[in-house]
A and B are shown apart, each in its own frame.
Chain A
Amino acid sequence: MIINHPLLGPRDAQEFTYLGDATLINRPDWQSENALNAFHDYLYLRDNPAGEHRELWYHEQGDRSWLVVTRNTMTHEILNVELAHDVAKAAAAERSAQ
C-alpha cells in the first residue's frame, strides 16, 4: 500500500508501523467518576468495520509522524490521511469548548 503522507508525499506502507483504531486518540479523563469503565472501553472495545476505518499509522522508518489514515478495509483504498497531531489538537479544542 502507499500512504500519502501529508508532509512527505506518497510513502510505502512498509515504512510505517500500524497501531489500529484512531479512537485511541480520545483518551478518557482520568478523574471522571466512571474513569475505570471509560478506560476499559477505551482500551478494549473496538469496532471492526468492513469498509471505512480511521486508523493510526506511525512513520517509524521516516519522520516519526503519527498519522490518521482513513482506509477501506475491503479494498484498501485510502480516502484521507491526516497528521494525528492535528486531529488530536482539534479534538482537544472541541473538548475544552464543551
Chain B
Amino acid sequence: MTNGNRLNGGLIDRSTNLNFKFDGKNFSGFQGDTLASALMANGVRLMGRSFKYHRPRGVLTAGSEEPNALVELRSGGRQEPNTRATVAELYDGLSANSQNRWPSLERDFMAINDRFSNFLTAGFYYKTFMWPKAFWEKLYEPVIRKAAGLGSLTGEDDPDAYDKGFLHCDLLIVGAGPAGLAAALTAGRAGAQVILAEEDFHLGGRLIAETGALADVSGADWVAQTQAELAGMGNVRLMPRTTVFGAYDHGIYGAVERNADHLAMPAEGKPRQTLWRIYSKRALITTGAIERPIAFENNDRPGIMLAGAVRAYVNRWATTPAQSLVVFANNDDAHQTARDLIAQGVKVPAIVDTRPDAPDVEGTEVLKGAEIINTSGRLGLTSVQVRTDKGFTRDLHCEALAMSGGWNPNLGLTCHQRGRPVWNADIHAFVPGEEGLPVGQIVAGAAKGDLTTDAALQGGANAAVTALSDLGITATPADLPAAQDAPVSLSPFWHVKGAKRAWLDYQNDVTVKDVKLAHQENFTSVEHLKRYTTLGMATDQGKTSNVGALAVMAELTGKSIPETGSTIFRPPYTPVAMGALAGRAVGKEFHPTRLTPSHKWAEEQGAVFLEVGNWLRAQWFPRKGETHWRQSVNREVLQTRNSVGVCDVTTLGKIDVQGADAAAFLNMIYANGFAKLPVGKVRYGLMLREDGVAYDDGTAARLAEDHFVVTTTTANAVLVYRNMEFVRQCLCPNMDVQLISTTEAWAQYAVAGPNSRKLLQKIVDPEFDISNEAFPFMACGEITVCGGLRARLFRISFSGELAYEIAVPTRYGDGLMRALMEAGEEFDVVPYGTEALGVMRIEKGHATGNELNGTTTALNLGLGRMVSTKKDCIGNVLSRREGMNTPDALALVGLKPVDAKDTLPAGGHLMNLTGPVDAAHDQGYVTSTAYSPILNSSIALGYVKGGFDRKGEQLRLVNPLEGQEVLVEIVSAHFVDPEGEKLRA
C-alpha cells in the first residue's frame, strides 16, 4: 500500500522509512509516526472491533484518551494487549494485530451481537442470565467471558526488564504543552529543580498540532527552541514518554517512563520501562484538555473522529483520514479543522454547525443550525445524513467526519485525592475545584479551563512563579511569544434529539439509549448510572464520554449538569503494565534471598534447599544410592543419635541485649523469669502476645551481668525484634537497656550426638575446659577455637542429644563448618538438614511454629507453670482469663499408631473411638508428624482436649478429605529420652 493520505509538512522524518505489519499486511511509515498516523496515511480506517457489539471501529483521537483503536502490539513474550494505536510509536519491524474479532477484522462472527443489541442493553447481565441459577457459573459466565474482553495475554514470560527509580524536585510539571513549557522556562531560569514530564514522545502538546497557535513563529519552532534551552539547564529534567499516572499523599507522584517501547527491543541491559516515584515540593498540572464527541445516530463508524485529533494528524503527522471530510461542531474551534484541510487540498463538502449564527468559512459551505442525524458505511464512513435548519434532509458524501462538542479540561490528576470538579458555565465544562486538590498541587492552562493558547502560556508562567514563591524561590514569568487569544465560542450541544444508537462511551459500548434506560429504571444518580451502564468503566475511564452522558442524564431528569453530578478519576491515569509495577521483583527476585555463610559448602555436598522466609536452608544432604528423601533423613537422624551430626542454625534470630536493666527487660518480654539466671547459663524462654497466646520461643544466654543473647525462631526474628523495641521504647522507657540484631553477625552450628563433646574438644582451644563438670547442660561461654578465633559456645539441645551450639563471626562460618567436618571424620560426623532436625525435635516433643500456631497458649503447650505470677510480663494478665484455663483445654501430647505399620496423616483431626465424626465431637488435631527411625514408627504431636490426663487412651485420627482413619494412642510428647539423661551426659 502507498501513503495515499500523506500530506505536506508535519513533524515526520521522511528520510527514515519504517516498515511495519498490521494484521499480517505490510505497510510503511516514517520516523515520528504513531501506528495510528501511519495506518491513516496508508488509507486504513478500520482498526478494531468494539467491546460488546463488535462494531467496526477506527481511530477517534490522537492521544492516550483513545477508546477505539486498541491493538495487540508485538508478539511472543513481548505481546501487549489493548495498546492504543494513537500512542504506539512506530519503529521499523513493528507488528500489530487487531483484536476482539474472529476470523478477521473485516468479517467478525461476533458482529451478530450488534443485531441483538436490543437484547444486550445496559443491565443485560442482571436481567437475562438470572434463571436457572445454576446456569450462571456453568454456562452463561464462561460464554460471556469468551465473547467479551479485548486483547489476549500471551501466557509467555516477558523477557524484558523493568526498573524502579526515585526522583526529587521543587516543581514537577505534568504535561509539556504551552502552559507546561512556559512554566518550565520560568522555573528553570529561576534555578529551581524542575521535572517536566510529558506522556508524548514529542514536547509541545497542541502547539505542534495547530497551525496558528502562535502569532510570529510556528508552534513547532518555538517548542524546539524552548526544548533546547531547557535541555541545557542542569536543574531541569526533561522526561518525554513519561506518563504521570497518579497523585499520592504529600506531593508524591507515580510515573512510568517508556524507555524502550519505541524500539524493536530494549538495548542490551536496558529496561523497557521505568516506574518512577517522584517526590515533589510543588506539582503543576498542565495536562491540557480533551475534546468531547457529539452523540448522533451511528456516530462510531471508522472515519468519524474528533476535530482536534484530525488537526493533529494533518498538521503534526501530515496525514488526513480521507480525501473528503465533513465537520460537525457546535463551536468555532472546529472550523479550523476545515481550514487546515482545505489548505492541504482535502475536500471539505460542508461544515455542519448546530449554531444558527455560526460564522462562515472560506472554501466550504457552513450548514448553520443543522445536525447530523445518521451515517452510512459498514466498515468505514461513506456518507452522512444532515437535517438542515429548515428541516430538510441532505446526504453528504464523505469518508471522514471531524466532530467537536467542545473541550473538557483534563482533570485526571486533580481528582486523585478526592478533589471534586466544579462546573464552569463560561466554557460549559468541569474544571478542577479549589478544594480537594492534592497537597502542593496547582493547575494551569487548559487543564484549569484556560482554553486559549495565550491564556495557557501566561497561566503556566504565572503558576510557576506562585509555586516557587511558596518555596522561597523568586522567579519572574518567562518572556513568551504572542499567541492566539480568541475567546471560546461555543453553544452547548450534547446529542441529536431522537438518536438512540448514538455512542457516548465508545470503549464500553454505551449509547444514549442505555442512559435513557437507566433513567427509566431510576438509576439516575451518577454512580448508579455508571454501574448500571458500565459508562466510563473501561480502561479509558471515560475520558471522552463521561460529561456527555451526564448531559444526557441531566436533560432526562430536567436538572442542570452540575446538579446531576460530576465525574472524578482515579489512578492510574492510563493503564500501567504489571511488569512496571513489579520492576525487578519477579521470579527468583520476588524477594531477597538470604544465604548462610556456609551455603557454598552445603551446595558442594549436594544439599536440597528449602525456603524459610527469605533464607535458604539445607533440607537434607542426599548421598549416592539414596533414591528417596526419607532414606537421607533417616540416615542423618540415626547417625546423629548414634554418633554426631552438625546442623546450620545461623538463620535463627539473635538479638543482643545489654544494659544495667537487661535482666529486668527479659523478665518483661518472656513469660518465665530471667532475673536469677546466673552468668554463664542459658535458659529456655517463652514469649506471649499481650492476649496470652504463645508466639515465639528460644533461649537467652547470660554472657555477663548486663549482657544477654536472645535467640528467636527463624520465621519470627523480625517480629520479635520489633516487639522488643516496642517494649523498650514504649512500655519500659526508663529501663537502661539497648538492643541490636546480630543475626547476620554470627554463624551458628548445632553439634549434636553422643560424640559431640569429643568432636568439639578437637577444635576448642585447650585452655577452655568443656568437660561435663566444667561446662554442664545449659552452660554458655565465650571461648576461642582453632587457635584463637573468638567464638561462643552454648550447651543447648533441640534434638534431645548431648549437644552444643557454637557461634563464630559470620566470615568464619564456612571455615568452621569445614573444620567441624574434618575434625569429625573419625566419628563419622554427618551434616543434617531441617528435615532431620524436624524428626528429632518431634521425637523429643519440642514445639515449633506448627505448635505455636497463633491460637495456643502456654497452658496448651504444657508450659502453663512457666508463666510467672510473681512478675509482670507481656501476656501475663490476659493469659489468666477464665476461658483460656478450662480443664478440657487443648494439651500438647504425643500420638502413636496402635498398629505400628500405620502412617499418621498430617493435619488430621482426633475423634473418640465411637460417635460421630464432626466438628462438634472434635477432640483435637495433629500438628506435626514424622517417621521416627529410632522407634521404627510413625509418630505425631498434636493437641487433645484435656490431653495431659488422657495418656494411654485410644482415639481415631481422621482425615475425611482423603477418607483416612487411623487408630492412635495418646502418649507422652517425649518419645525419646523422656528423663533427659542424654542431654546431661
Residues in chain B near residue A27, CB distance under 8 A: 731
- Number of B interface residues, CB 8 Å? 25
B527 within 8 A of A: no
C-alpha spacing A84/B733, complex, angstroms:
9
Are the C-beta atoms of A85 and B729 separated by less than 8 Å? yes
Cβ of B517 under 8 Å from chain A? no
How far apart are B18's CB and chain A's nearest CB, in angstroms? 42
Q: Which residues on the B side are within 8 Å of A30 (C-beta)? A: 872, 876-877
Interface string of B238-267 (1 = CB under 8 A from A): 000000000011111000000000000000
Q: Which chain B residue lies CB-closest to A64?
A: B725
On chain A, the number of residues with a Cβ less than 8 Å from chain B's Cβ atoms is 35
- Partner of B730 from the list A31, A36, A77, A85 (CB cut-off 8 Å) is A85
Of all chain A residues, the one with the shortest Cβ separation from B734 is A92
Q: Given that A24-B730, A36-B880 are contacting pairs, would A77 and B439 also be in contact in the complex, using a CB cutoff of 8 Å?
A: yes
A79 at the interface (CB under 8 A from B): no
Are A25 and B690 in touch, CB under 8 angstroms?
no
Task: For the complex, give the distance between the alpha carbons of A75 and B877 in Å.
Answer: 38
Interface residues of B in 705-738 (CB under 8 A from A): 718, 722, 725-726, 729-731, 733-734
Question: Contacts A40-B878, A43-B878, A60-B722 hold; do A88 and B250 have CB atoms under 8 A apart?
Answer: no
- Tell me the nearest residue of chain B to A68, going by C-beta: B730
Tell which of B279, B734, B872, B877 touches A36, judged by Cβ atoms closer than 8 Å: B877
Please determine whether A39 and B722 come into contact, CB atoms closer than 8 angstroms. no
- CA–CA, A56 to B517, complex, Å? 51
| CB closest residue in chain A, given B439 | A77
Query: Do A17 and B733 have beta carbons less than 8 Å apart?
Result: no
The answer to the question of B531 belonging to the interface, with a C-beta cut-off of 8 Å to chain A, is no
A59 nearest CB neighbor, chain B only: B725
Measured between beta carbons, the chain B residues less than 8 angstroms from A43 are: 690-691, 878
B758 at the A interface (CB under 8 A)? no
| Residues of A contacting B726 in the complex (Cβ-Cβ under 8 angstroms) | 19, 56, 58, 66
| Chain A min CB distance to B959 (Å) | 35
Q: Does A7 contact B (CB under 8 A)?
A: no
**A76 interface hit (Cβ, 8 Å):** yes
Residues of the A chain whose Cβ atoms lie less than 8 Å from the Cβ of B279: 2, 12
Inter-chain CA distance A7–B249, complex, in Å, is 22
Instruction: Give the residue name and chain of the B residue nearest to A90 (CB).
Output: B733
**Does B881 make an interface contact (CB < 8 A)?**
yes
CA A80 to CA B725, docked complex, whole Å: 21
Assess whether A36 is in contact with B878, with CB atoms less than 8 Å apart: yes
Give the complex CA separation of A76 and B247 in angstroms. 13
The answer to whether B881 and A84 have CB atoms under 8 Å apart is no
Known contacts A2-B250, A39-B690; A92/B722 CB under 8 A: no
Known interface pairs A43-B690, A58-B722. Does A84 touch B878 (Cβ–Cβ under 8 Å)? Answer: no
Chain A nearest CB from B433 CB (Å) reads: 15
A75 vs B876: C-alpha distance in the bound complex, in angstroms? Answer: 38
How far is the CB of A95 from the nearest CB of chain B, in Å? 11
* A84 and B252 within 8 A (CB): no
Q: Mark B722-765, 1 if CB is under 8 A from A, else 0.
A: 10011001110110000000000000000000000000000000
**C-alpha gap A39/B881 in the complex (Å):** 11
A88 near B249 with CB under 8 A, answer no
* With known contacts A30-B876, A36-B880, A25–B731 Cβ distance under 8 A: yes
Across-interface contacts of A19 in B (CB, < 8 A): 726
Write out the residue numbers on chain A whose beta carbons fall within 8 Å of the beta carbon of B877.
Answer: 28, 30, 35-36, 39
A39 in contact with B731 (CB, 8 Å)? no
Set of chain A residues within 8 Å of B733, measured between Cβ atoms? 85, 88-89, 92
- Binary contact readout B432-463 vs A (1 if CB under 8 angstroms, 0 otherwise): 00000001000000000000000000000000
Contact with B along A36-78 (1 / 0, CB 8 A): 1001101100000000000010101000111000000001111
Query: Which residues of chain B have C-beta atoms less than 8 A from A92's C-beta?
Result: 733-734
CB closest chain-B residue, reference A1 = B249
Rounded to whole angstroms, the CA-CA distance of A98 and B252 in the bound complex is 45
What residues of chain B lie closer than 8 Å to A60, measured between beta carbons?
Answer: 718, 722
B730 and A25: CB pair below 8 A? yes
The residue of chain B having its C-beta at the shortest distance from the C-beta of A66 within the complex is: B729
Q: Tell me the chain B residues, 198-250 only, with Cβ under 8 Å from chain A.
A: 248-250
**Chain B minimum-CB-distance residue to A36:** B877
Q: Please determine whether A88 and B730 come into contact, CB atoms closer than 8 angstroms.
A: yes
Q: Give the contacting residue for A89; candidates B251, B417, B734; CB below 8 A.
A: B734
In chain A, what residue has the closest Cβ to B728? A85
Q: Encode B863-881 as 1/0 by CB contact (under 8 A) with A.
A: 0000000001000111011
B125 to chain A, nearest CB (A): 35
Query: Do A88 and B880 touch (CB < 8 A)?
Result: no
B722:A88 contact, CB within 8 angstroms: no
Of B252, B279, B726, B729, most A-chain CB atoms within 10 Å: B729
B845-888 with Cβ < 8 A to chain A: 872, 876-878, 880-881
Bound Cα distance A84, B728 (Å): 10
Q: Select B725's contact among A25, A42, A58, beta carbons within 8 Å.
A: A58
A92, chain B: closest CB distance, angstroms? 6
Is the Cβ of A76 less than 8 Å from the Cβ of B691? no
In whole angstroms, how far apart are the Cα atoms of A98 and B731 in the complex?
Answer: 18
Residues of A within 8 A of B722 (CB): 17, 58, 60
Q: How far is the CA of A88 from the CA of B725 in the complex (A)?
A: 13
Q: Which residues of B contact A13 (CB under 8 A)?
A: 249
CB–CB A36/B881 < 8 A: yes
A25 to B690, CA, bound (A): 13
Residues of chain B lying within 8 A (CB to CB) of residue A66: 725-726, 729-730
Within B33-80, the residues touching A (CB, 8 Å) are none
Known: A17-B722, A43-B690, A43-B691. A76 touches B249 (CB 8 A): yes
B248, B691, B729, B876: the one contacting A84 at CB < 8 Å is B729
- A42 vs B877: C-alpha distance when bound (angstroms): 12
A93 to B: closest C-beta gap in Å: 9
Contact of A88 among B252, B729, B876 (CB under 8 A): B729
- For A75, the chain B residues whose CB sits under 8 A away are 417
Q: Are A65 and B731 in touch, CB under 8 angstroms?
A: no
CB A75 to nearest CB in B, in angstroms, measures 8
Roughly how many angstroms separate A37 CA and B934 CA in the complex, as a whole number? 50
CB-contact partner of B731 in A12, A36, A58, A88, under 8 A: A88
Q: Report the Cα distance A42→B880, complex, angstroms.
A: 16
- What sequence of 0s and 1s flags, for each residue 654-691 of chain B, a beta carbon within 8 Å of any chain A beta carbon? 00000000000000000000000000000000000011
Q: Which B residue sits closest to A19, measured CB to CB? A: B726
A75 to B762, alpha carbons, bound, how many Å?
Answer: 66
Nearest-neighbor residue (CB-CB) of A96 within chain B: B734
**Distance from A66 Cβ to chain B, minimum over Cβ atoms (Å):** 5
A47–chain B nearest beta-carbon distance, Å: 18
Closest-by-CB residue of A relative to B166 is: A12
Residues of B within 8 A of A58 (CB): 722, 725-726
**A2 CA / B881 CA spacing, docked (Å):** 41
Contacts of B731 in A (CB 8 A): 25, 27, 88
Q: Which residues of B contact A78 (CB under 8 A)?
A: 250
Residues of A within 8 A of B249 (CB): 1-2, 13, 76
- B250 to A1, Cβ gap below 8 A? yes
A61 to chain B, nearest CB (A): 11
**Closest beta carbon of chain A to B669's beta carbon, Å:** 13
Give the residue among A2, A65, A78 with the most B Cβ atoms within 10 A: A2
- A76 near B250 with CB under 8 A, answer yes
A-side contacts of B250, CB under 8 Å: 1-2, 76, 78
Q: Which residues of B contact A88 (CB under 8 A)?
A: 729-731, 733
Listed A/B pairs (10) with beta-carbon separation below 8 Å: A13-B249, A24-B730, A25-B730, A25-B731, A40-B878, A78-B250, A84-B730, A85-B729, A85-B733, A89-B733
What residues make up the interface of A, taking CB atoms closer than 8 Å to B? 1-2, 12-13, 17, 19, 24-25, 27-28, 30-31, 35-36, 39-40, 42-43, 56, 58, 60, 64-66, 75-78, 83-85, 87-89, 92
Q: For the complex of A and B, list the 6 residue pairs with the smallest distance between their C-beta atoms, beginning with the closest.
A: A88-B733, A30-B872, A2-B250, A85-B729, A89-B733, A1-B249
A30-B877, A43-B691 are known; give 17 further A-B pairs, CB within 8 A: A2-B250, A2-B251, A12-B279, A27-B731, A28-B877, A36-B881, A40-B878, A65-B729, A66-B729, A76-B249, A76-B250, A77-B439, A78-B250, A84-B730, A85-B733, A88-B733, A92-B733
